[in-house]
Amino acid sequence: MPQVWKNAQYEPSLRVPFIVSGGSVAARALPRGTAVDAVTSLLDLYPSLLWMARIPQPTQPQLSGSSLAPFLGGGGDLSRRKDYAVSQYHSNLGNTGTFCIVWRNYKYIAFGHGFRRIYGSGEYVPQLFDLEADPGEMYNLAHERPDLALYLDVKLRGELASGFNALSSSGDYHEIDVAVKRSQQALYRRFYLDEARLDIQVERLRKCDELKKSLALKGASLLALDPEAELPCAANDEEPLRQRNRDEKLKADPTWQEDQQHQRSPIDQKLEATMESGAAQQSEHIQSTSAVQHVPPPKTEEQAKLWRLFSRAYTGFDEIDWLKVAAWEQDVP
């Protein structure tokens, strides 16, 4: 499935190689080059590290994952391990959380629809993919296999409802999504709309800019001064560096851009065209949404500070993005 960014439950985001190297001792139980095709999760890392450090596992059900010791020669009953993995993702400034379960060669994805006022009442339909027959996740089987979709939906809800920190006793996607959206809004208001905290961030940006200018006059750079410095001061400062890299590649090879264009697959080119079309439609939709039309542009001093931070932190941040952020902050999940 071609995708942009990582805000999704598709394989380019969800599937993470887990590589273990334990030296000669571990190699006796797990020979070099061994591939384990069992479903695992990042939640398994902590209990695995406890096992490696010879620290007893918690007796109370505080961990959702389980140790990978059986795969690493540490013994244990594989039959007690879950044969599925569950994940949920809540992107900042997103309109819905996503919930996913991978079982055998199937993946089921559901959505929470926490925000409806900005993005309309339309809902994202659940998705079911056969990862073996359809590794690109292009064909949704939810309508063709309703029995399997229901089975995985029940399994996913049950997992989301378990644990001491469950946000919904029934694993309801919308209930969980609403709770997360409210938490995200509270954090946003606390760290971005609170005047004192906003002033601190603006002051950091100002000091960083001053230091960079001072070093530039001396023929030095902040990165040379401190390789671990948070550079650039904001994301948009990277663009001159990207352009310089492009210029250097073109100077070394005048055909570089043409080669890059040639190397893009037809599906990549189709995706880019779709993205451009979708971006134009989304801008029109956002502009025409009543919830957004009443959001004023930056007028107060605090709004101007926030605008400055966002326009520096996000490449291409413009008036439409500002309206979306303000409308997101005002929506009621």
Q: What is the pLDDT of residues 107-158, one digit of tens each?
A: 999 999 877 665 555 678 999 999 999 999 999 999 999 999 999 999 999 9
Q: Is the pLDDT of residue 81 over 50?
A: yes
What is the reported pLDDT for 148? 98
Give the pLDDT score at 105.
Answer: 95
Taking residue 246's Cβ as centre, other Cβ atoms within 10 Å add up to 13
Does 89 score more than 70 pLDDT? Answer: yes
Please report which confidence band the pLDDT of residue 244 belongs to, taking 50, 70 and 90 as the band edges: low
Check: CB of residue 98 under 8 Å from CB of residue 174: no
pLDDT over 50 at 230, yes or no:
no
Q: Which one, of 7, 214, 152, 20, lies nearest residue 91 by Cα?
A: 7
Cis preceding-peptide flag for 232 (omega within 30 of 0): yes
Q: What are phi and psi of 218, to 5 degrees?
A: -95, 5
Residue 84: pLDDT above 90?
A: yes
Tell me the mean pLDDT in the region 162-189: 91
Cα gap 327→292, rounded to integer Å = 6
Identity at 301, one-letter amino acid code = E
Top-confidence residue, 124 or 229: 124
